[in-house]
Structure 1
Amino acid sequence: MDPSNLSSLPEESSEENQQQTKKDVSAFSSIPARPPTNKTSSQKCSPLDWSGYFDKEDDVCIPDSNDVFHVYMAGTQGPVIFCLHGGGYSGLSFALSASKIKEKMRVVAMDLRGHGKSTAENDLDLSIETLCGDVLAVLKTMYGDSPPAIVLVGHSMGGSVAIHVAAKKALPTLAGLVVVDVVEGTAMASLIHMQKILSNRIQNFSTIEKAIEWSIKSGSLRNTESARISIPSTLKYDDSKKCYIHRARLEETEQYWRGWYEGLSETFLSCSVPKLLLLAGTDRLDRTLTIGQMQGKFQMVVVRHTGHAIQEDVPDEFATLILNFVSRNRIGPHGVEIPGIRRPSQLQP
């Protein structure tokens, strides 16, 4: 959830709204006029199927519970890039990136509880403890006691979950941590505005195409192709209202928000695996991380010309950054290879 990307936009522009727009400075005023196209607005915003990007989907049933987590998978070899989406998004947020990353390694993108196609006994329990438990349970169910090398990748709220999972040291083959556009200082400062932001966004849509169009026009996503894949999975049809509404009921989970981000910078720095922080702007870096970055405790890349959802807005660049991170840190099928340090199997008896 990011204040700059959830601005309200009328579904239909009235004459009054159009007049007001002329008076205000528009964020889109500098964009040159595009040539006319034969496609209608509905065609340009029609949904795209996940199968063009991921190889398969599956439901992971957690033993001794009624929780079922939906995952999308791609690739057949190499370490597993395990992706955790932000609040209000879904695993399909990583679809375009996955289609590139899978050429070199495996990708698993999970729908967190209360999101996408996952179902849990309590969809509203988004406490950091519960979310971390869900991730560990999914990994345990999928891979048992012999998991492959795993790189946790988390965007926004999912970045917080990835950090806390890594800090627990409960994954013996955790080989890397990538956090996408979430910093404690900025996140904590924005929490006081979140209820207003959530309430001001459009709450229902007559069609999925309208929702996709809104996500682009409001600026929450900047890549139309990615929006056409990911946005449908963030909605559900309300029979009583005869319209589509947001799947995640984030406005009802306020009690957990501080827990996502409080102490996040120190926790991130405490994680012993190689770390990469991707930011959409340098203003998001707080004091603790600035000092840590100067001390070389993690790699940081500022990705230009993108919004909050870096993995959706510039998927090719995002995929390249992930692949380079894995290569640079020698993350292979069996874990992390550190130059100069021999593995136990290489030692003489």
Structure 2
Amino acid sequence: MLKIQVNDIELDYEDHGKGKVLLLLHGLGSTKKDWDAQVPFFLKTHRVIAVDLRGHGASTKPQDAYSVALMTEDVKQLLDQLHIKKVTIVGFSMGGAVAFEMAAKHPEYLENLVIVNSGPDFNDMGKIGEDLLNNRTKYLETKGIVALAKEISFNMFPEDHQVALRHEFEARCKTNDYNAYYKSFVTLMDWGLGDRIKDIKTRTLVVGSDMDYTPVSFKADYVKRMQNASLVVIKNSRHGVVIDQPDAFNLELQKFLNHE
């Protein structure tokens, strides 16, 4: 485990391989271990960096300093300190929000952008977003982080053959600091790109699952609003596609990277 100082906090990260840089950003309430099936695959051809975002994993958990904008500045400073000028950022769920913000605010760093089961406007998702914010906040306040971890993990990996994946994700999720999780969640749900999405020129791959929380049409709609984006859909997969369909995901990402 490597540590680096950014914005008055410490980020924990892993750094493997050589070549063009892939930066992997995990989902809410998880850690860089979301990418355990991607790191060994891509380190053969790329330099692969996986980071614990602020408030998550082994990174610092501040009392109040949370937002997608802050996480984005953490990522920028990480790249600066590692003297990385160009990167392909792969963001899953909450990590996708950070990746989008990076593309909007600091496009000069991005070679490619990869968005995985995420969206550009968590604050403008209609009823899906309102229900998620209300239900998860209430669940957290009444039942706590351990129960929430169990619920989320079951929803992501409900099949009988996914029991091991479910238990592993639950174990990771239930160790979250309550305050860090809560503030990461509410600030995420307050974030959105709005019209800035139309200005993103970075070559973009959007990966959606056929059984994600938001429908494929949701991803297709925002892909149309982008200048240089394409959508691929992975079948028989839920929200955690990088975990539940790693082979299919890795092949789609590899294909995208090989056609730069």
TM-score by length of 1: 0.62
Cα pair 2:66 2:183 within 8 Å, conserved = no
* Percent identity of paired positions between Structure 1 and Structure 2: 21
Q: Distance in 2 between matches of 1:124 and 1:234?
A: 20
2:39 counterpart residue number: 98
Root-mean-square deviation (CA, aligned residues, Å) is 3.0
RCO greater where, 1 or 2, for CA within 8 Å and sep 6 or more?
A: 1
Cα pair 1:61 1:69 within 8 Å, conserved = yes
Q: 1:224 to 1:325 in 2, by over 3 A?
A: farther
Tell me by how many angstroms 1:180 deviates.
0.5
Matches within 5 A, 1:1-349: 57-62=1-6, 66-75=8-17, 77-120=18-61, 122-143=62-83, 147=84, 149-169=86-106, 171-172=108-109, 174-184=110-120, 188-189=125-126, 190-193=128-131, 194-200=133-139, 203=144, 205=146, 216=153, 218-221=154-157, 223-224=162-163, 226-227=165-166, 230-236=169-175, 246-247=176-177, 249=179, 250-253=181-184, 256-263=187-194, 266-281=195-210, 283-286=215-218, 288-289=221-222, 291-292=224-225, 297-329=228-260
- SS of alignment partner, residue 196 of structure 1: helix
Structure of higher CA gyration radius: 1
Q: Pick the structure with more helix per residue.
A: 2
Q: 1:228 to 1:151 in 2, by over 3 A?
A: farther
Q: Distance in 1 between matches of 2:193 and 2:107?
A: 21
The unaligned stretches of length 5 or more in structure 1 are: 1-56, 237-245, 330-349
TM-score by length of 2: 0.80
Equivalent residue pairs, number: 246
Q: 1:199 to 1:103 in 2, by over 3 A?
A: farther
The unaligned stretches of length 5 or more in structure 2 are: none
Q: Distance in 2 between matches of 1:123 and 1:82?
A: 26
Q: 1:140 to 1:271 in 2, by over 3 A?
A: same
Moved more, 187-196 or 305-314: 187-196
